[in-house]
Structure 1
Amino acid sequence: MKRSQLIRELVEIIALALVIFLVVRFVVQSYRVDGPSMQPGLVTNEFVMVNKLSYVFQKPERGDVIVFHYPKDVKQDFIKRIIGLPGDTITTDREHVMVNGKLLKEPYISLAYNSEGKSWQVPADQYFVMGDNRPVSSDSRFWGYVPKDYIVGKAAITFWPLNTIRAIDTYSDVYKDIPKQK
Protein backbone atom coordinates (compact mmCIF):
# COMPACT_ATOMS: atom_id res chain seq x y z
CA MET A 1 0.00 0.00 0.00
CA LYS A 2 2.73 2.47 0.92
CA ARG A 3 4.69 1.79 -2.26
CA SER A 4 1.64 2.38 -4.52
CA GLN A 5 0.78 5.53 -2.56
CA LEU A 6 4.34 6.83 -3.07
CA ILE A 7 4.16 6.13 -6.81
CA ARG A 8 0.77 7.85 -7.05
CA GLU A 9 2.10 10.93 -5.21
CA LEU A 10 5.16 11.09 -7.47
CA VAL A 11 2.95 10.91 -10.56
CA GLU A 12 0.73 13.68 -9.14
CA ILE A 13 3.74 15.89 -8.40
CA ILE A 14 5.17 15.36 -11.89
CA ALA A 15 1.78 16.01 -13.50
CA LEU A 16 1.29 19.18 -11.45
CA ALA A 17 4.79 20.42 -12.30
CA LEU A 18 4.11 19.78 -16.00
CA VAL A 19 0.79 21.65 -15.86
CA ILE A 20 2.43 24.60 -14.07
CA PHE A 21 5.27 24.62 -16.60
CA LEU A 22 2.88 24.64 -19.57
CA VAL A 23 0.66 27.36 -18.10
CA VAL A 24 3.66 29.56 -17.33
CA ARG A 25 5.14 28.93 -20.80
CA PHE A 26 1.93 30.10 -22.50
CA VAL A 27 1.43 33.11 -20.19
CA VAL A 28 4.92 34.56 -19.77
CA GLN A 29 8.17 34.51 -21.66
CA SER A 30 11.58 35.90 -20.92
CA TYR A 31 13.32 38.10 -23.47
CA ARG A 32 16.96 39.21 -23.50
CA VAL A 33 17.52 42.80 -24.55
CA ASP A 34 20.07 42.86 -27.37
CA GLY A 35 21.39 46.23 -28.49
CA PRO A 36 21.18 49.87 -27.40
CA SER A 37 17.86 50.84 -29.05
CA MET A 38 15.91 51.02 -25.76
CA GLN A 39 18.53 52.83 -23.67
CA PRO A 40 18.50 54.37 -21.17
CA GLY A 41 15.51 52.34 -19.87
CA LEU A 42 16.61 48.90 -21.05
CA VAL A 43 20.18 47.86 -21.76
CA THR A 44 21.89 44.96 -23.50
CA ASN A 45 21.76 41.65 -21.61
CA GLU A 46 18.94 42.68 -19.29
CA PHE A 47 16.15 40.12 -19.18
CA VAL A 48 12.52 41.18 -19.21
CA MET A 49 9.40 39.19 -18.42
CA VAL A 50 6.87 39.39 -21.26
CA ASN A 51 3.15 38.97 -20.49
CA LYS A 52 1.84 37.00 -23.48
CA LEU A 53 -1.81 37.26 -22.36
CA SER A 54 -1.90 41.03 -21.87
CA TYR A 55 -3.48 41.69 -25.26
CA VAL A 56 -6.02 38.89 -25.13
CA PHE A 57 -8.25 40.99 -22.86
CA GLN A 58 -7.21 44.54 -23.80
CA LYS A 59 -5.73 46.37 -26.77
CA PRO A 60 -2.15 47.61 -26.87
CA GLU A 61 -1.78 51.22 -25.69
CA ARG A 62 0.59 54.01 -26.55
CA GLY A 63 3.63 53.80 -24.30
CA ASP A 64 3.51 50.01 -23.90
CA VAL A 65 6.90 48.38 -24.36
CA ILE A 66 6.31 45.29 -26.48
CA VAL A 67 8.20 42.32 -27.80
CA PHE A 68 7.23 41.46 -31.36
CA HIS A 69 8.35 39.52 -34.43
CA TYR A 70 10.33 41.82 -36.68
CA PRO A 71 8.18 42.33 -39.80
CA LYS A 72 11.16 41.99 -42.17
CA ASP A 73 12.31 38.69 -40.60
CA VAL A 74 9.79 37.03 -38.26
CA LYS A 75 12.52 34.75 -36.88
CA GLN A 76 13.88 37.79 -35.01
CA ASP A 77 12.13 39.39 -32.04
CA PHE A 78 12.49 43.10 -31.25
CA ILE A 79 11.53 45.21 -28.25
CA LYS A 80 10.23 48.77 -28.75
CA ARG A 81 7.70 51.27 -27.39
CA ILE A 82 4.29 51.74 -29.05
CA ILE A 83 3.94 55.34 -30.22
CA GLY A 84 1.01 55.03 -32.63
CA LEU A 85 -2.21 53.02 -32.62
CA PRO A 86 -4.30 52.00 -35.63
CA GLY A 87 -5.69 55.16 -37.24
CA ASP A 88 -3.15 57.51 -35.63
CA THR A 89 -1.15 60.03 -37.61
CA ILE A 90 2.50 60.17 -36.57
CA THR A 91 4.54 63.20 -37.65
CA THR A 92 8.22 63.81 -37.00
CA ASP A 93 10.66 66.61 -37.58
CA ARG A 94 14.37 66.42 -36.71
CA GLU A 95 13.73 66.59 -32.92
CA HIS A 96 10.02 66.03 -32.26
CA VAL A 97 7.32 63.38 -32.50
CA MET A 98 3.65 64.31 -32.77
CA VAL A 99 0.73 61.94 -32.50
CA ASN A 100 -2.55 63.20 -33.99
CA GLY A 101 -1.16 66.73 -33.85
CA LYS A 102 -0.11 66.52 -30.17
CA LEU A 103 3.59 67.01 -29.41
CA LEU A 104 5.00 64.22 -27.23
CA LYS A 105 7.12 65.22 -24.24
CA GLU A 106 9.07 62.01 -23.82
CA PRO A 107 11.11 61.77 -20.60
CA TYR A 108 12.22 58.22 -21.46
CA ILE A 109 14.22 58.99 -24.63
CA SER A 110 17.98 59.31 -24.54
CA LEU A 111 18.18 61.97 -27.26
CA ALA A 112 15.52 63.68 -29.39
CA TYR A 113 16.47 62.73 -32.94
CA ASN A 114 14.80 61.78 -36.20
CA SER A 115 16.74 61.47 -39.45
CA GLU A 116 14.07 63.43 -41.33
CA GLY A 117 10.66 64.99 -41.06
CA LYS A 118 7.95 62.64 -42.19
CA SER A 119 4.33 61.66 -41.61
CA TRP A 120 2.70 58.22 -41.31
CA GLN A 121 -0.94 57.12 -41.10
CA VAL A 122 -1.07 53.90 -39.05
CA PRO A 123 -3.21 51.25 -40.83
CA ALA A 124 -5.90 49.14 -39.14
CA ASP A 125 -4.55 46.33 -36.92
CA GLN A 126 -1.01 47.73 -37.05
CA TYR A 127 1.18 49.69 -34.63
CA PHE A 128 3.91 52.32 -34.96
CA VAL A 129 6.85 51.58 -32.65
CA MET A 130 10.04 53.43 -31.80
CA GLY A 131 13.06 52.69 -29.67
CA ASP A 132 13.84 55.03 -26.79
CA ASN A 133 17.39 55.59 -28.07
CA ARG A 134 16.25 57.32 -31.26
CA PRO A 135 19.63 57.92 -32.98
CA VAL A 136 20.40 54.17 -33.13
CA SER A 137 16.97 52.52 -33.18
CA SER A 138 15.78 50.53 -36.18
CA ASP A 139 12.02 50.99 -35.89
CA SER A 140 8.79 51.95 -37.68
CA ARG A 141 10.39 55.14 -39.00
CA PHE A 142 12.54 52.96 -41.28
CA TRP A 143 10.74 49.66 -41.91
CA GLY A 144 7.05 50.34 -41.28
CA TYR A 145 4.37 49.05 -38.95
CA VAL A 146 4.01 46.06 -36.64
CA PRO A 147 0.94 43.92 -37.38
CA LYS A 148 -1.09 43.08 -34.27
CA ASP A 149 -0.57 39.36 -34.95
CA TYR A 150 3.21 39.83 -34.68
CA ILE A 151 3.05 41.11 -31.09
CA VAL A 152 4.36 38.48 -28.65
CA GLY A 153 3.34 40.43 -25.55
CA LYS A 154 3.87 43.35 -23.24
CA ALA A 155 7.21 43.70 -21.46
CA ALA A 156 6.25 43.97 -17.79
CA ILE A 157 9.35 43.78 -15.59
CA THR A 158 13.10 43.47 -15.80
CA PHE A 159 14.33 40.57 -13.69
CA TRP A 160 18.00 40.04 -14.53
CA PRO A 161 20.54 41.03 -13.42
CA LEU A 162 18.97 41.00 -9.98
CA ASN A 163 19.97 44.59 -9.20
CA THR A 164 17.77 45.75 -12.12
CA ILE A 165 14.45 44.25 -10.98
CA ARG A 166 11.73 46.83 -11.66
CA ALA A 167 8.44 47.36 -13.47
CA ILE A 168 8.76 48.75 -16.98
CA ASP A 169 7.18 52.20 -17.07
CA THR A 170 4.70 52.90 -19.89
CA TYR A 171 4.67 56.65 -19.15
CA SER A 172 0.89 56.77 -19.63
CA ASP A 173 0.84 60.49 -18.66
CA VAL A 174 2.81 61.29 -21.84
CA TYR A 175 -0.03 59.93 -23.99
CA LYS A 176 -3.16 60.74 -21.94
CA ASP A 177 -4.15 63.92 -23.83
CA ILE A 178 -3.68 62.62 -27.37
CA PRO A 179 -6.93 62.91 -29.30
CA LYS A 180 -8.38 59.69 -30.72
CA GLN A 181 -8.45 59.40 -34.51
CA LYS A 182 -11.71 58.51 -36.16
Structure 2
Amino acid sequence: MERIKSIFSWIIPIAVGLLLALLIQAFLLVPVTVNGDSMLNNLKNGERIWVFKTEKVHRGSVIVFDAKKEDPGIQAGEKDYVKRVIGVPGDKIEAKNGDIYVNGKEISQKYISSYNRTTGTGNWTLKILSSGNSPFVSGKSHWIDGKAITVPAGNYFVLGDNRSKSEDSRYFGFVKKIHVLGVAKVFPWASRHQEINDVWKNFFVK
Protein backbone atom coordinates (compact mmCIF):
# COMPACT_ATOMS: atom_id res chain seq x y z
CA MET A 1 0.00 0.00 0.00
CA GLU A 2 2.80 2.40 0.89
CA ARG A 3 4.47 1.64 -2.42
CA ILE A 4 1.26 2.41 -4.31
CA LYS A 5 0.90 5.69 -2.43
CA SER A 6 4.49 6.53 -3.26
CA ILE A 7 3.93 5.87 -6.96
CA PHE A 8 0.77 7.97 -7.04
CA SER A 9 2.52 10.78 -5.18
CA TRP A 10 4.63 11.52 -8.27
CA ILE A 11 2.30 10.23 -11.02
CA ILE A 12 -0.54 12.61 -10.07
CA PRO A 13 1.55 15.84 -10.24
CA ILE A 14 2.95 14.76 -13.62
CA ALA A 15 -0.53 13.98 -14.95
CA VAL A 16 -1.88 17.31 -13.70
CA GLY A 17 1.05 19.15 -15.25
CA LEU A 18 0.53 17.46 -18.61
CA LEU A 19 -3.19 18.21 -18.51
CA LEU A 20 -2.55 21.87 -17.75
CA ALA A 21 -0.01 22.07 -20.59
CA LEU A 22 -2.52 20.57 -23.02
CA LEU A 23 -5.25 22.96 -21.88
CA ILE A 24 -2.96 25.98 -22.22
CA GLN A 25 -1.92 24.90 -25.72
CA ALA A 26 -5.50 24.21 -26.77
CA PHE A 27 -7.09 27.40 -25.48
CA LEU A 28 -4.46 30.04 -24.62
CA LEU A 29 -1.08 29.93 -26.35
CA VAL A 30 1.13 27.73 -28.48
CA PRO A 31 4.78 27.95 -29.58
CA VAL A 32 5.44 28.40 -33.31
CA THR A 33 8.68 28.42 -35.30
CA VAL A 34 9.02 31.06 -38.02
CA ASN A 35 9.48 29.47 -41.45
CA GLY A 36 11.04 31.72 -44.08
CA ASP A 37 12.32 35.28 -44.44
CA SER A 38 9.09 37.22 -45.08
CA MET A 39 9.27 38.99 -41.69
CA LEU A 40 12.95 39.99 -41.74
CA ASN A 41 14.55 41.86 -40.07
CA ASN A 42 12.07 41.65 -37.23
CA LEU A 43 11.59 37.88 -37.21
CA LYS A 44 14.22 35.49 -38.54
CA ASN A 45 13.81 32.09 -40.13
CA GLY A 46 13.78 29.47 -37.37
CA GLU A 47 12.99 31.98 -34.62
CA ARG A 48 10.62 30.82 -31.88
CA ILE A 49 7.52 32.89 -31.16
CA TRP A 50 4.43 32.49 -29.00
CA VAL A 51 0.94 32.65 -30.44
CA PHE A 52 -1.76 33.95 -28.09
CA LYS A 53 -5.07 32.53 -29.24
CA THR A 54 -7.35 34.89 -27.32
CA GLU A 55 -5.40 38.12 -27.94
CA LYS A 56 -7.31 40.86 -29.76
CA VAL A 57 -6.07 41.56 -33.30
CA HIS A 58 -5.18 45.22 -33.92
CA ARG A 59 -3.79 47.08 -36.90
CA GLY A 60 -0.06 46.45 -36.60
CA SER A 61 -0.45 43.12 -34.80
CA VAL A 62 1.64 40.23 -36.07
CA ILE A 63 -0.59 37.21 -36.60
CA VAL A 64 -0.22 33.54 -37.48
CA PHE A 65 -2.79 31.98 -39.80
CA ASP A 66 -3.49 28.75 -41.68
CA ALA A 67 -1.74 29.37 -45.00
CA LYS A 68 -3.15 26.27 -46.67
CA LYS A 69 -6.62 27.79 -46.50
CA GLU A 70 -5.51 31.19 -47.81
CA ASP A 71 -2.66 30.90 -50.32
CA PRO A 72 -3.29 28.72 -53.41
CA GLY A 73 0.41 29.02 -54.26
CA ILE A 74 1.72 27.73 -50.91
CA GLN A 75 4.99 25.82 -51.11
CA ALA A 76 5.22 22.16 -50.12
CA GLY A 77 6.04 21.72 -46.45
CA GLU A 78 4.61 25.08 -45.40
CA LYS A 79 1.66 25.24 -43.05
CA ASP A 80 1.27 28.58 -41.26
CA TYR A 81 2.19 32.12 -42.31
CA VAL A 82 3.37 34.91 -40.01
CA LYS A 83 2.36 38.38 -41.28
CA ARG A 84 1.50 41.85 -40.02
CA VAL A 85 -2.07 43.16 -40.04
CA ILE A 86 -2.40 46.42 -41.98
CA GLY A 87 -6.18 46.58 -42.28
CA VAL A 88 -9.06 45.27 -40.18
CA PRO A 89 -12.70 44.84 -41.31
CA GLY A 90 -14.12 48.03 -42.80
CA ASP A 91 -10.76 49.75 -43.33
CA LYS A 92 -10.00 51.50 -46.62
CA ILE A 93 -6.39 50.92 -47.67
CA GLU A 94 -4.34 52.64 -50.36
CA ALA A 95 -0.71 53.19 -51.28
CA LYS A 96 0.87 56.35 -52.65
CA ASN A 97 4.56 56.48 -53.56
CA GLY A 98 5.60 54.01 -50.87
CA ASP A 99 3.35 55.39 -48.14
CA ILE A 100 0.36 53.36 -46.94
CA TYR A 101 -2.87 55.01 -45.84
CA VAL A 102 -5.63 53.45 -43.78
CA ASN A 103 -8.89 55.37 -43.74
CA GLY A 104 -7.03 58.38 -45.12
CA LYS A 105 -4.36 58.39 -42.39
CA GLU A 106 -0.74 57.53 -43.11
CA ILE A 107 0.59 54.59 -41.14
CA SER A 108 4.02 54.56 -39.51
CA GLN A 109 6.45 52.12 -41.13
CA LYS A 110 9.47 52.72 -38.92
CA TYR A 111 9.65 48.99 -38.22
CA ILE A 112 10.85 48.25 -41.79
CA SER A 113 13.62 49.59 -44.04
CA SER A 114 13.13 52.44 -46.51
CA TYR A 115 13.67 49.94 -49.34
CA ASN A 116 10.80 47.77 -48.19
CA ARG A 117 8.55 50.81 -47.84
CA THR A 118 9.02 51.72 -51.50
CA THR A 119 10.58 49.34 -54.02
CA GLY A 120 9.95 46.28 -51.88
CA THR A 121 6.27 47.06 -51.48
CA GLY A 122 5.67 48.01 -55.09
CA ASN A 123 2.89 50.11 -56.55
CA TRP A 124 -0.29 48.55 -55.34
CA THR A 125 -3.82 48.67 -54.49
CA LEU A 126 -5.74 45.66 -55.59
CA LYS A 127 -8.93 46.63 -57.37
CA ILE A 128 -10.00 43.01 -57.77
CA LEU A 129 -9.65 42.41 -54.02
CA SER A 130 -12.60 44.62 -53.20
CA SER A 131 -14.89 41.77 -54.20
CA GLY A 132 -13.05 39.05 -52.28
CA ASN A 133 -9.91 36.94 -52.34
CA SER A 134 -7.99 36.78 -55.60
CA PRO A 135 -5.32 34.22 -56.50
CA PHE A 136 -1.80 35.06 -57.56
CA VAL A 137 -1.73 35.29 -61.38
CA SER A 138 1.21 34.91 -63.78
CA GLY A 139 3.90 35.93 -61.30
CA LYS A 140 2.59 39.47 -60.87
CA SER A 141 0.46 41.20 -58.29
CA HIS A 142 -2.69 43.08 -59.28
CA TRP A 143 -1.85 46.33 -57.51
CA ILE A 144 -2.67 49.71 -59.00
CA ASP A 145 -1.15 52.66 -57.17
CA GLY A 146 -3.56 55.18 -55.68
CA LYS A 147 -6.75 53.08 -55.75
CA ALA A 148 -8.33 52.33 -52.37
CA ILE A 149 -9.71 48.93 -51.38
CA THR A 150 -12.02 48.11 -48.48
CA VAL A 151 -11.38 45.16 -46.17
CA PRO A 152 -14.55 43.01 -46.03
CA ALA A 153 -16.22 41.96 -42.80
CA GLY A 154 -14.54 38.99 -41.14
CA ASN A 155 -11.23 39.55 -42.95
CA TYR A 156 -7.80 41.13 -42.50
CA PHE A 157 -5.34 42.66 -44.94
CA VAL A 158 -1.77 41.51 -44.16
CA LEU A 159 1.76 42.24 -45.36
CA GLY A 160 5.12 40.69 -44.56
CA ASP A 161 7.72 43.09 -43.14
CA ASN A 162 10.22 41.93 -45.76
CA ARG A 163 7.94 43.18 -48.52
CA SER A 164 10.08 42.13 -51.49
CA LYS A 165 10.20 38.52 -50.23
CA SER A 166 6.68 38.05 -48.93
CA GLU A 167 3.62 36.27 -50.29
CA ASP A 168 0.79 38.18 -48.62
CA SER A 169 -2.49 39.98 -49.28
CA ARG A 170 -0.99 41.68 -52.33
CA TYR A 171 -1.08 38.26 -53.98
CA PHE A 172 -3.58 35.90 -52.36
CA GLY A 173 -6.03 38.45 -50.98
CA PHE A 174 -7.62 38.97 -47.60
CA VAL A 175 -7.13 36.59 -44.68
CA LYS A 176 -10.32 35.29 -43.13
CA LYS A 177 -10.64 35.81 -39.39
CA ILE A 178 -11.68 32.18 -38.90
CA HIS A 179 -8.29 31.05 -40.26
CA VAL A 180 -6.24 33.14 -37.80
CA LEU A 181 -4.57 31.06 -35.10
CA GLY A 182 -3.67 34.01 -32.90
CA VAL A 183 -1.42 37.01 -32.27
CA ALA A 184 2.34 36.45 -32.26
CA LYS A 185 4.51 37.74 -29.42
CA VAL A 186 8.16 37.48 -28.48
CA PHE A 187 9.80 37.73 -25.08
CA PRO A 188 10.41 41.29 -23.80
CA TRP A 189 14.17 40.71 -23.84
CA ALA A 190 14.19 39.78 -27.55
CA SER A 191 16.22 42.27 -29.62
CA ARG A 192 13.27 43.51 -31.71
CA HIS A 193 10.40 42.87 -29.31
CA GLN A 194 8.91 46.34 -29.78
CA GLU A 195 8.65 45.82 -33.55
CA ILE A 196 6.62 42.66 -32.93
CA ASN A 197 4.72 43.31 -29.71
CA ASP A 198 4.08 47.06 -29.71
CA VAL A 199 3.69 48.47 -33.26
CA TRP A 200 -0.11 48.46 -32.89
CA LYS A 201 0.18 51.04 -30.10
CA ASN A 202 1.63 53.65 -32.49
CA PHE A 203 0.29 52.47 -35.83
CA PHE A 204 -0.33 55.86 -37.45
CA VAL A 205 2.10 58.69 -38.20
CA LYS A 206 1.66 61.41 -35.58
Instruction: Check whether TM > 0.5.
Output: yes
| Counterpart among 104, 108, 113 of residue 107 in structure 2 | 104
* Amino acid in the other structure paired with 1:46: E
**Cα contact 1:67–1:79 (8 A) shared by 2:** yes
**Cα contact 1:90–1:120 (8 A) shared by 2:** yes
RMSD: 2.6
Select between 94-103 and 67-76 the one with higher mean Cα deviation.
67-76
Equivalent runs, 1:31-180 vs 2, <5 Å: 31-54=32-55, 59-70=56-67, 71-72=70-71, 76-110=79-113, 111-113=116-118, 114-118=121-125, 119-157=148-186, 166=193, 168-175=196-203
Q: Which runs of 5+ in 1 are unaligned?
A: none
Aligned length: 172
- Quote the Cα distance in structure 2 between the aligned partners of 1:104 and 1:9: 57
- Quote the Cα distance in structure 2 between the aligned partners of 1:175 and 1:165: 16
Greater share of residues in strand:
1
- Secondary structure at the aligned position of 2:50 is classed as strand
Q: Report the TM-score, using the length of structure 2 for normalisation.
A: 0.74
**Cα contact 1:128–1:144 (8 A) shared by 2:** yes
Q: Report the TM-score, using the length of structure 1 for normalisation.
A: 0.82
Runs ≥4 in structure 1, deviation > 6 angstroms? none
Select between 22-31 and 94-103 the one with higher mean Cα deviation.
22-31
- Quote the Cα distance in structure 1 between the aligned partners of 2:182 and 2:80: 11
- Quote the Cα distance in structure 2 between the aligned partners of 1:174 and 1:150: 26
Percent identity of equivalent pairs: 34
